[in-house]
């Protein structure tokens, strides 16, 4: 069924998280880790900013020796994760297109061909022969997929599936994994659970698992990685 509704399938049994910390505490814990989260995220995009440089920039101090677009990417990610936390704390986060596009408008500001709207042209994914769906099908794919994702009772499973769904279909010209991770973490935070961050040290392993996911349309490997290695 999930192959038909989402475009991929899995047999991996995502564990059911127990004892949520609560929405406010989960948001507070993420806010304390903003510099680490931002660094991990932009490192996956081959951004050359080091962790100390990310910390410095987020403190409002300009860091020399970098391209303006690399600096913009760091600031974009910071603004987008701040907005996510704000939405969650105000109970305004939802699995819908307006929130998805709102977060993307911050993630990919002045970086993608367009930001805050679904792509109007075709895209490809480096390293795989998988071809994302054509632009004219994106609205129906999103509507059908989101309705299915909402039926997944386990918050951790629902969150990871949302990330994979957004990454697979490439609803935007760029920033798809970053925006889909925000949606994933919106689900977790709203359920009172900690956010997931992909550590910079696991970049190769993460990228290899994502390519395997694209190539096979099977999510078991990347789900196991997200749960066993990245969720603390």
Q: Do the beta carbons of residue 69 and residue 86 sit within 8 Å?
A: no
Average pLDDT over residues 137-163: 97
DSSP character at residue 170: T
| Residue 35, C-beta contacts closer than 8 angstroms, at least 6 positions apart | 51, 54, 55, 58
Give dist(CA 116, CA 132) in Å, integer: 19
Average pLDDT over residues 201-224: 97
Domain ranges for the chain, please list them: 21-230
Query: Which of these, 141, 90, 144, 135, lies nearest to 117 by C-alpha position?
Result: 135
pLDDT digits (tens, 9 = 90+) for 43-72: 999 999 999 999 999 999 999 999 999 999
pLDDT digits (tens, 9 = 90+) for 108-118: 998 888 999 99
Beta-bridge partners for 9 = 218
- Specify the CATH architecture of the domain 21-230: Orthogonal Bundle (1.10)
Give dist(CA 68, CA 110) in Å, integer: 11
Query: Which of these, 59, 142, 135, lies nearest to 100 by C-alpha position?
Result: 142
For 58-70, b/e burial (b = at least 16 CB within 10 A) is: beeeebeebeeeb
The confidence band for 148, taking pLDDT boundaries of 50, 70 and 90, is: very high
pLDDT digits (tens, 9 = 90+) for 7-43: 999 999 999 988 888 999 999 999 999 999 999 999 9
| Residue 70, C-beta contacts closer than 8 angstroms, at least 6 positions apart | 42, 47, 48, 49
pLDDT digits (tens, 9 = 90+) for 155-198: 999 999 999 999 999 999 999 999 999 999 999 999 999 999 99
């Amino acid at each position: 069924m999930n192959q038909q509704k989402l475009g991929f399938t899995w047999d991996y049994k995502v564990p059911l998280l127990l004892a949520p910390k609560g929405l406010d505490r989960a948001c507070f814990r993420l806010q304390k880790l903003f510099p680490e989260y931002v660094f991990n995220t932009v490192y996956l995009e081959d951004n050359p900013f080091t962790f100390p440089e990310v910390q410095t920039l987020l403190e409002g101090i300009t860091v020399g020796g970098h391209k303006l677009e690399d600096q913009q990417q760091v600031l974009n990610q910071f603004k987008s994760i701040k907005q996510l936390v704000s939405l969650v704390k105000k109970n305004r986060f939802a699995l819908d297109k307006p929130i998805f596009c709102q977060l993307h408008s911050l993630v990919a500001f002045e970086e993608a061909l367009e930001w805050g709207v679904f792509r109007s042209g075709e895209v490809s994914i480096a390293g795989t022969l998988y071809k994302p769906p054509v632009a004219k099908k994106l609205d129906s794919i999103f509507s059908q997929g989101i309705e299915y994702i909402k039926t997944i009772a386990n918050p951790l499973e629902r969150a990871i599936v949302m990330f994979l769904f957004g990454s697979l279909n490439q609803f935007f010209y760029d920033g798809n994994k970053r925006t889909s991770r925000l949606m994933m973490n919106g689900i977790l935070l709203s359920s009172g659970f900690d956010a997931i961050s992909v550590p910079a040290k696991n970049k190769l392993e993460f990228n290899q698992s994502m390519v395997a996911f694209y190539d096979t349309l099977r999510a078991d490997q990347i789900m196991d990685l997200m749960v066993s290695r990245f969720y603390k």
